[in-house]
């Protein structure tokens, strides 16, 4: 509830709740059951809060493009899949899996915190291969608050032309809600028009009114 209050204080009207889903550690049924239980507990509180849309941050796994039930971890009511690529040097078959998710399965794939994978030099070409697909790039706000990471993150957004900014907040004291600060960096570096276009894009994607 403290995280939600911090979020609302920064002017956020809706949040997409994206708990991690790891296919090698969990079953979809149990994951969705726990998510629903947590959601109900939050919604039963009387404290003011932003609107909450249910989703998941799904970790990439070999064979994900052929997984029959993977649509169940999309953002509720949509074909939007928030995909976290593996933290290792990628292979050509990994990129082919993402392509299959889009072309064969018809998912709208959001690439979670894409800037994190720049730490692997072998992945640079693959990152641009992914951006050249019909993907959506998401950057963590925290990356814009550290000058060493800011330039590469902004470069990804400028290459794609549009994208999404996420807080990736996990707690109220560590990895905190920081969208307000990240948005201000975007405004200064890429301009108000870019930020407005990002907001419009996000609203259309989630089918909500600004």
pTM value is 0.95
* CB of 145 closer than 8 Å to CB of 175: no
3-class state of residue 164 by DSSP? strand
How many C-beta atoms surround the C-beta of residue 160 within 10 A? Answer: 18
pLDDT value, residue 20: 97
pLDDT value, residue 208: 84
Residue 91, Ramachandran bin (φ over 0: left; ψ between -120 and 50: alpha; else beta): beta
pLDDT value, residue 172: 86
* CB of 138 closer than 8 Å to CB of 114: yes
Residues of the chain under the 70 pLDDT cut: none
How far apart CA 107 and CA 70 sit, in angstroms, is: 10
* H-only helix segments in 10-146: 28-44, 92-103, 124-131, 141-144
pLDDT value, residue 176: 87
> Could you tell me which of 75, 82, 77 has the C-alpha nearest to residue 54?
75
The position carrying tokens 């292979």 is 91
Per-residue pLDDT reduced to its tens digit, 138-193: 999 999 999 889 999 999 999 999 999 999 999 888 888 899 999 999 999 999 99
pLDDT value, residue 192: 96
Expressed in angstroms, the distance from the first to the final Cα of the chain is 24
pLDDT value, residue 98: 98
Kindly state the tokens that stand for 23.
Answer: 């296919």
* CB of 103 closer than 8 Å to CB of 135: no
Residue ranges per domain, the chain? Answer: 2-204
pLDDT value, residue 177: 87
How far apart CA 51 and CA 164 sit, in angstroms, is: 18
Instruction: Name which CATH class applies to 2-204.
Output: alpha beta
């Amino acid at each position: 509830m403290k995280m939600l209050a911090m979020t609302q204080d920064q002017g956020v009207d809706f949040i997409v709740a994206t708990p991690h889903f790891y296919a090698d550690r969990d079953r979809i049924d149990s994951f969705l059951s726990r998510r629903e239980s947590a959601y109900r507990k939050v919604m039963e509180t009387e404290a003011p809060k932003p609107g909450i849309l249910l989703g998941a941050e799904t970790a990439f796994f070999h064979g994900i493009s052929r997984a029959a039930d993977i649509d169940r971890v999309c953002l509720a009511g949509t074909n939007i899949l928030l995909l976290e690529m593996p933290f290792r040097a990628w292979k050509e078959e990994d990129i082919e899996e993402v392509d299959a998710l889009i072309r064969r399965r018809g998912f709208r794939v959001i690439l979670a915190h894409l800037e994190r994978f720049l730490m692997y030099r072998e992945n640079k070409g693959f990152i641009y291969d992914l951006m050249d697909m019909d993907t959506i790039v998401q950057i963590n706000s925290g990356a814009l608050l550290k000058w060493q990471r800011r330039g590469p993150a902004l470069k990804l957004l400028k290459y794609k032309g549009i994208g999404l900014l996420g807080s990736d907040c996990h707690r109220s004291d560590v990895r905190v809600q920081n969208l307000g600060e990240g948005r201000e960096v975007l405004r200064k570096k890429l301009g108000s028009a870019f930020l407005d276009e990002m907001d419009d894009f996000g609203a259309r994607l989630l089918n909500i009114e600004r």
